[in-house]
Amino acid sequence: MEAYAAAASPRTTAMGADKLSHQLFSLLESKFLFGAGAGCLSSGPGTPARKFLDGGRVRVLAIDGCGAAAEDALLAAAALARLETQLREQTGDPDARVADFFDLAAGAGAGGVLAAMLFLRGPDGRPRYSAQEALAFVVSSVGRKEKDWGHRRGRWAKIFRSGGDRVFQRVFGDATLRDTVAPLLVPCYDLATAAPFVFSRADAVESDAFDFRLRDVCAATCAVGREPVAMRSVDGLTTIAAASAGVAAMGNPAAAAITHVLHNKQEFPLATSVEDILVLSIGGGASSSVVSGVSSSTPTATRRSPSPRELARVTAEGVADMVDESVAMAFGYACGSNYVRIKAMTTPLHAGNAAAAAGAMLAQRNVESALFRGRRLSERTNAEKVDALAAELVKEQERRRRSPLPNVAIKHVGTPRLSSATTSSSGTSTAARTASTMPSPASWDSRR
């Protein structure tokens, strides 16, 4: 024993200590952080549930929304469009949608708009919009020229300042949270209670008092630099004064989504730890080194103080990165396989158009967190991460076809409610309403 200890290299000893620390961290996480204590299904390899699941994972999509800049949505839309293309190629299904391969979506700010679009149920019960159509919506909103999309006062920013009422009305019609194909989480900040508020499909299915129109949900999470959005649930019983999720600690909704999965035992009964979850977290474009036209090389005497909006954006980005680091630590050595983070290191504001900028951000390598190793530059580009994740999503889809025990049981709209309140949004009327109010994606440009 002493001879082995003497022969062991410092590197081997350090690796052993790291592995032990990770095991202790995972134990504390399971017992205390996520409440996987007595009464919950064990995640041990010898349990019947684990044997049937055979490595099954709940698939989560989380999209940041730190501000009203065009690059916040552009990277996410481009990454999801690429992911959808890969999914179609690998499955041979030309009509495959991103929502077909995720069990839950969470988005804040611009990310909330994208998540709601991709998970909106169409009249045929399928996801209404493809990722390519969502990307077209973003590009048409931010403009195709650099002076349109890269400017803080461009058309995309106007959607946030005005609340996007007409735009969101055209995209979502009268659809509500219940009109999504899978669970959806969209956070905002409620000034009436001075606390975060999360719009949740799971709550909307259970009670009319928590069912909100998607156009109002998007307006609430995108309320940047203007008066709070006063909104009511469809039955009028719940009212909030919503401000942007970016001003709260919800700009990165990944942690909220993971917590929702681990505690929502009705829809995700077999998810007991992060080992049972596969997360794709997409961040926005990083702030440029040029702030409002003032270069970092400008003499200090000629620089002006940043505006409150700029400070809020930098703060939101910092909080989002802190959430990312915490989640990466929770996943430990599974980070990279079970937790995939995509974010642009720099914003290519000088790209010729939005499409070129999206390609440049996908070609970047971002900084990622590693357990007990700090932060490091990723070995793969954002595009390579997307391609690798597509293979994992397809593998999980195929595993579910063979498994006799489903690890996800999403509630349908027809599920009996706990609330005694009644509304006109029955399953039949909702489908008819959605079908009659949804615009054609091809008409977005002509409507502007």
pLDDT, one tens digit per residue, over 105-153 is: 999 988 999 999 999 999 999 999 999 999 998 887 765 544 544 444 4
pLDDT band at 382 (very low <50, low <70, confident <90, very high): very high
Least confident residue range of 38-47, 283-292, 379-388: 38-47
pLDDT of residue 20: 55
What's the chain's average pLDDT?
75
Choose between 62 and 283: higher pLDDT. Answer: 62
CB atoms within 10 A of CB 220: 28
> Mean pLDDT over residues 269-287, rounded?
85
- The neighbour count for residue 301, using CB atoms within 10 Å, is 5
Residue 205 DSSP SS3: helix
Highest averaged pLDDT of the listed ranges 287-291, 293-297, 406-410 = 406-410
DSSP state of 368: E
Question: Could you tell me if 217 and 186 are in contact, meaning their C-beta atoms sit under 8 angstroms apart?
Answer: yes
Percent of the chain with pLDDT over 70: 62
* Residue 280, token pair as written in the block: 């794709």
Range 266-289 average pLDDT? 83
Q: Which CATH class is domain 54-146+153-160+249-288+308-402?
A: alpha beta
112 touches 54 (CB < 8 A): no
Residue 356 has pLDDT above 50, yes or no: yes
| pLDDT over threshold 50, residue 433 | no
Q: Which of 108-117, 226-235, 436-445 has the highest mean pLDDT?
A: 108-117
Q: How far apart are CA 393 and CA 343, in angstroms?
A: 20
* Helix (H/G/I), strand (E/B), else coil: 405: coil
Beta strands 239-243 and 229-232: pairing type? antiparallel
0.85 exceeded by pTM: no
Main-chain dihedrals φ then ψ at residue 376, nearest 5 degrees: -145, 160
d(CA 211, CA 221): 15
Residues 314-334 have a mean pLDDT of 81
Q: How far apart are CA 199 and CA 214, in angstroms?
A: 10
Residue 309 and residue 225: Cα distance in Å, rounded? 7
Query: Which range among 7-16, 58-67, 88-97 shows the weakest confidence by mean pLDDT?
Result: 7-16
Contact 434, 123 (CB under 8 A): yes
What is the band of 161 on the pLDDT scale with cuts at 50, 70, 90?
low
What band does 10 get if pLDDT is binned at 50, 70 and 90?
very low
Which residue reads 């991709």 in tokens? 118
Note whether 64 and 286 are within 8 A (CB): no
- Region 221-246 average pLDDT: 79
> Residue 289 has what pLDDT?
41
Mean pLDDT of 423-437: 38
Q: What is the pLDDT of residue 291?
A: 40
Assess contact for 126 and 206: CB atoms under 8 A: no
Do 192 and 241 touch, CB atoms closer than 8 A?
Answer: yes
Opening angle at CA 123, ends 77 and 213, nearest 5? 65
Task: Write the CA distances from 318 to 5, 53, 219, 307, integer angstroms.
Answer: 43, 37, 23, 17
Cα–Cα dist 324/368, whole Å: 9
Residue 384 has pLDDT above 80, yes or no: yes
Pick the range with the lowest mean pLDDT from 28-32, 132-136, 179-183: 28-32
Region 304-333: mean pLDDT is 76
In angstroms, the CA 141 to CA 135 distance is: 10
Task: Answer whether 112's CB lies under 8 Å from 419's CB.
Answer: no
Residues 6+ apart with CB under 8 A from 171: 117, 137, 215, 439
* Structure tokens given for 440: 């054609």
Find the mean pLDDT for residues 375-390.
92
Average pLDDT over residues 48-65: 76
* pLDDT value of residue 425: 36
